[in-house]
Amino acid sequence: MGRINKSDLSNDKKSKKNKLYVTFSLVSNLLILFFFKYYNFFNDSFIEVSHFLGFEAHGSRFNVLLPVGISFYTFQALSYTLDVYRGKINPELHFGRYALFVSFFPQLVAGPIERSANLLPQFRQVKKFDYNRVKDGLLLMLWGFFQKMVIADRLAVLVDTVYNEPGNYEGVQLILATVFFAFQILCDFSGYSDIAIGAAKVLGFDLMKNFDRPYFSKSIKEFWRRWHISLSTWFRDYLYFPLGGNRVSKIKFYRNIMIVFLVSGLWHGANWTFVVWGGLHGLYLVLGEISQNIKQTIQPRIAHNTFSYKLFRVVINFSLVTFAWIFFRANSLKDSFYIIENLFVNNFSKLFGEELYMLGLDKHDFNIAVLSICVLLFVHYLQRNLSLLNWLSRQWLPIRWGAYLGFIFIILIFGFYGNQEKIQFIYFQF
């Protein structure tokens, strides 16, 4: 018989200990998230199903305050644990650095969901004042404030007016509110991400990019490479790939897509509206994959490099994404279905009447909202091949500082200042 290698026994014990630690860490983090965010949702759903099936079921509700940013905090902590377990990074032995990683204040409450391999090493580096870094960080924060204060908070007034009482509206009013919400959530979340990334940059830290002009996407797959990048890549690395990704049979491939997006929808909120929203995006992607052969047959006959064809695809994709936003924003599935049923009622005359300015925004604020969306799209269009920050930094000093000060005054003058509860960042609730 061969001799037992003591080092092998030691490594085996260490491996078992690591698996036990990882399991405990995963379960404890997920249980905390479940209790605070999903217990009442599943409890209420079970009671409703039991009543539908004809028997009585009762459960106690817990009225607890949801910790701000619990979903972001949990996913960031989980990514560290899984990366250590997979051997992608070494365990962080300094408790202060680990605590700083999971509670780094610029991105704690709404992301980006940072990776340990990117952020942890930066905490070991000595930081020195860098004028260009501070300047770039402050300018990025300014762009974030513009998106949030000038666009998102103003659009929120009209969106809330219509979506909180959808039964009072129809047709063009519902279409307008839905399109406005598409830009509200983009500017609200992208604005926060830019403020967080900019603040971290001022402090000497580089966070990952979270948005990349998502409404210029020409497909749903491309949209999810540009929208909430830190979350979509998290689900890709820690759920989609472990399920097998696309290296499985077609049926399992489609199953994997649906699982990822259903879980993503549930991650966003404890409501069936979010689950339907996620499922709809999963369905978009599955249908897109199924129709690949048809696309490959048709596209060679189309001049797909022309501007008109690209614009057509962008408009179609934006329409699909915006339609799905109905479920994301509606207060209930009942409201969602009412909005969809009444979306195309013929009342387009109201688009040009005074009733257009009776949806919460007066004529002045409505015009500013439309103009600011146009500015946003124009900037996104320019960013295809041009870094505006780099371009501005090369200009003559009076022009640079004139642009800086002018932008500050635009935010101060045209920023929308309303009820503090109504202008909270949307993703704070997640």
Catalytic positions, written as ranges: 268
Say how far apart CA 97 and CA 154 lie, in whole Å.
Answer: 39
Q: What gap in Å lies between CA 267 and CA 274, rounded to an integer?
A: 8
Are 319 and 220 spatial neighbours (Cβ–Cβ below 8 Å)?
A: no
Diameter of the chain measured on Cα atoms: 93
Phi-psi region of 416 (alpha: psi -120 to 50; beta: other; left: phi over 0): beta
If phi over 0 gives left and psi between -120 and 50 gives alpha, with beta otherwise, what is residue 171?
left
Return d(Cα 37, Cα 247) in angstroms, integer.
Answer: 33
Amino acid present at 27: V
Smallest Cα–Cα separation from 108: which of 138, 79, 154, 71? 71
Residues 6+ apart with CB under 8 A from 381: 216
| Token output for 39 | 């217990």
* Sign of torsion over alpha carbons 121, 123, 126, 130: positive
